[in-house]
Amino acid sequence: MKSYELVSQTIKGNNPGRTPVYGWIGWNLDWAGNKKYLIHTAFEDRYEFDMAHLFGGPGCFNHEKLNELKNRGVEITPEVLLDIPLLPVDHMEDYKSIVDQLKFYREERGRFCYVQSNGIFECLNDAFGIENHLLYLALYPDELKEVYYRQAKWNLEFNNIMAELGVDMIHISDDWGSQNSLLFSKSMYEELILPYHKMIGEGVKKTGKFLSLHSDGNINQALDGVLEVGFDVLHPWQETAGMSYETYLQKYSDKFAILGGVCVQSTLGFGNYDKLENDIRRVFKLLKGKRFICCTTHFVQNHCTFEELEFAYDLITKLARS
């Protein structure tokens, strides 16, 4: 079974008898200074990763114009942002890197390829600043609805192009959670953010591609929304932020898959090999055979040694393929 088939069957809830393996390892670590691998793709090949996380395509914001206004002391409010057109989404030369990555990962290695796409909240923190953005949710809800609708339309076209290029899944990155709760009230989420995710989700479903969400933190209050949108995969399901696997198994394991299980906040990268082994074994005991794709909960941090990363993936691949 090819990796893209293995992952697809796992997401659908058809236990294929082997747990897919992946990890967010391509950033932070000093690959160029490591004589054994030199580049992260060599590590991925050694452990026969089943997925590839693609980045690329056009940006949506005119940063030159935004920086010009900020340098003049202009506050980027929703009304100001609406006066700055989004950049074109349909210049196909901007997608060359995606085409190249698909050739490398999908055609040559048979991996399941998912592409990073904008959500509604996180991407606009780039323009507003997160503190201002949170304030605007209370001050300018009507104006933000216009901003979010425009963003959702841009995202829809971006996702459609990615689907046509041949990705397997659209992966929406939209951090909603703090360590203990949502960054905003549940009512704000339901009124201002969820409707535009539903709009995006409906568009992805029409393409026949899988849909996934990345959100750090505790998003327990948003899980009904995750179901409404129709997300097939959730990354990371963060135990350290109060999201228990028991809750997932009792209420959601027949609804969507988890991409995660190897915590970079508390377990991987701290030099405690006993804790690392025990935690990986615990998670596999709970989730193996379920809709579970083993992956790091975020990018592996630079305090993790290559020796510890190898130790983790030696164990992960053994447990996944046994």
The domain of 186 spans 3-321
pLDDT at 35 over 90: no
Give the pLDDT of residue 7.
98
Please state the domain count of the chain.
Answer: 1
* Range 288-298 average pLDDT: 97
Give the pLDDT of residue 57.
97
Over residues 178-236, the pLDDT tens digits come to 999 999 999 999 999 999 999 999 999 999 999 999 999 999 999 999 999 999 999 99
Copy the structure tokens of residue 312. 């983790």
Looking at the DSSP assignment, which residues form a beta bridge with residue 53?
114
C-alpha span between 239 and 64 (Å, rounded): 39
* Range 126-140 average pLDDT: 96
> pLDDT tier at 144 (50, 70, 90 boundaries)?
very high
Pairing of strands 257-262, 169-173: unpaired
Give the pLDDT of residue 108.
98
Over residues 251-281, the pLDDT tens digits come to 999 999 999 999 999 999 999 999 999 999 9
Give the pLDDT of residue 302.
95
Query: Which has the closest alpha carbon to 171: 47, 61, 259?
Result: 259
C-alpha span between 43 and 25 (Å, rounded): 9
Over residues 62-104, the pLDDT tens digits come to 999 999 999 999 999 999 999 999 999 999 999 999 999 999 9
SS3 sequence, 194-253? Answer: HHHHHHHHHHHHHHCCEEEEECCCCCHHHHHHHHHHCCCEEECCCHHHCCCHHHHHHHCC
Which contacts of 138-146 are long-range, i.e. CB under 8 A and separated by 24 or more positions? 138/188, 140/77, 140/78, 140/79, 141/188, 141/191, 141/192, 143/77, 143/78, 143/79, 143/82, 144/78, 144/192, 145/192, 146/78, 146/82
Query: What CATH number is attached to the domain comprising 143?
Result: 3.20.20.210
* Range 146-162 average pLDDT: 98
Number of H helices, E strands in the chain: 14, 7
Which region among 34-38, 134-138, 297-301 has the lowest average model confidence (pLDDT)? Answer: 34-38
Pairing of strands 257-262, 292-296: parallel
* Range 6-29 average pLDDT: 96
Sign of dihedral through CA atoms 44, 114, 241, 31?
positive
pLDDT at 120 over 90: yes
How many residues are recorded in the chain? 322
- Tell me what the pLDDT averaged over the chain comes to: 97
Asked if residue 262 lies in contact with residue 301, where contact means CB atoms within 8 angstroms, the answer is: no
Copy the structure tokens of residue 316. 């992960």
Give the pLDDT of residue 268.
98
**Single pTM value for the model:** 0.96
